[in-house]
Amino acid sequence: MTASVSAPTHTVRIGSRKSQLALVQTYWVQAELQKQFPELTFEIHTMATQGDKILDVALAKIGDKGLFTKELEVGMLSHETDLAVHSLKDLPTNLPEGLTLGCITERENPADALVVHEKHRDKQLETLPPGAVIGTSSLRRLAQLRYHFPHLEFKDIRGNLNTRLQKLDEGGYDAIILAFAGLHRLEMGDRIHQVISPEVSLHAVGQGALGIECREGDQRILEVVQALEHTPTAQRCLAERSFLRELEGGCQVPIGVNTAIDKGQLTLIGMVASLDGQKLIKDTVIGASENAEQLGKDLANQLRQQGAQDILDEIFAMIQRG
């Protein structure tokens, strides 16, 4: 067992992945916390996760529960760090014993975005020619786009954001699908050619928000991170995460969501699709935003009654067969 590593009580150690996007997000959290707590010192400790190391295999084949979070979680449990900053969409809905989701920050636009090769600057997703090759590493995006655009071709793409853009620019793809939030945070918003409507592609659970994970019962750290909690975002994301947890799907299962809060009422739209895009089940629940987690469960049960579990069982079996 790893020995505990103590730190001065005025120091807070933040765990982060080493990727450019992860660091931009972590530096933002560090700066915001420093503003709120000028008497504390916030240190960043970086580490590579399994998901950062395995770049030549499709995510669906290696399973991604905790793929981008496990090493960061070990760091907290062994007291090497006090908290970790995650893209909330990467954080599994069931956390390891001893850890908790301490805070959810205000969300960027959670939509998916189309980035095109220069030769398609005059096209939209709807007008790309038959056979155009679209790059995505997400089964959620793949299933929805196959459902709406069966005439397009789809090809897996891995690597960090710069690597994916380079592969596109070199002509390996006609277009790629990325998260609006990541491009915006890296100040690459000029590469966004089209923001994809939720009618076409419901986004990933938690997409666009940051989740700050820390040790359960560590009141000092919990009080610090709560300063960045954004209640409307937290309610929306808790509903989404509850929906995903109830369906027992990882991020690499075609489950998509969209949420909104208006006058205390939370609207949650959720969908489950087959990998070939032939079947897509979608429904909506509306209720009080303080009942966010129950709304997620209710929607999951509604979709199950409409056949979602059969679709998910087929996908799990297919992934296990490799």
**Same domain as 241, residue 150:** no
Domain count along the chain = 3
CB 87 within 8 A of CB 210: yes
Query: What are residue 287's phi and psi, to 5 degrees?
Result: -170, 180
**Same domain as 94, residue 5:** yes
State the alpha helices, DSSP H only, in 83-230. Answer: 139-148, 161-169, 180-185, 219-225
**Same domain as 218, residue 72:** yes
**Same domain as 321, residue 245:** yes
What is the rounded CA–CA span in Å between residue 177 and residue 152?
13
Domain containing 59 — which CATH number? 3.40.190.10
- Give the chain's largest Cα–Cα span: 61
**Same domain as 271, residue 124:** no
**Same domain as 179, residue 82:** no
Give residue 32's pLDDT: 98
Structure-block tokens of residue 275: 């990998």
Give residue 249's pLDDT: 65
Look up the domain containing 241 and give its range: 230-322
Looking at the domain assignment, is residue 158 inside a domain? Answer: yes
Looking at the domain assignment, is residue 202 inside a domain? Answer: no
Domain containing 317 — which CATH number? 3.30.160.40
Query: What are residue 56's phi and psi, to 5 degrees?
Result: -110, 10
CB 196 within 8 A of CB 124: no
Active site residue 90: yes
Give residue 62's pLDDT: 34
Active-site pick, 90, 112, 174, 218 = 90
What is the rounded CA–CA span in Å between residue 199 and residue 302?
19
Sign of CA dihedral 173, 63, 317, 293: negative
Give residue 136's pLDDT: 95
Q: Which of 69, 51, 52, 59 lies closest to 252 in space, CA to CA? A: 59
Give residue 3's pLDDT: 33
**Residue 93: how many CB atoms within 10 A of its CB?**
21
Give residue 7's pLDDT: 56
What's the whole-model pTM score?
A: 0.90
Looking at the domain assignment, is residue 79 inside a domain? Answer: yes
**Same domain as 47, residue 7:** yes
**Same domain as 191, residue 235:** no
For every one of its 322 residues, what pLDDT tens digit does the chain have, with 9 covering 90 and above?
333 444 557 899 999 999 899 999 999 999 999 999 999 999 999 987 654 443 443 444 434 545 557 889 999 999 999 999 999 998 999 999 999 999 999 999 999 999 999 999 999 999 999 999 999 989 899 999 999 999 999 999 988 899 999 999 999 999 999 999 999 999 999 999 999 999 999 999 999 999 999 999 999 999 999 999 999 999 999 999 999 999 976 556 899 999 999 999 999 999 999 988 999 999 999 999 999 999 999 999 999 999 999 999 888 787 777 6
Give residue 67's pLDDT: 54
Looking at the domain assignment, is residue 128 inside a domain? Answer: yes
Give the strand order in the sheet containing 175-179. 153-155, 133-135, 175-179, 112-116, 194-195
**Same domain as 95, residue 23:** yes
| Amino acid letter, residue 76 | M
Structure-block tokens of residue 38: 């000028």
**Same domain as 101, residue 21:** yes
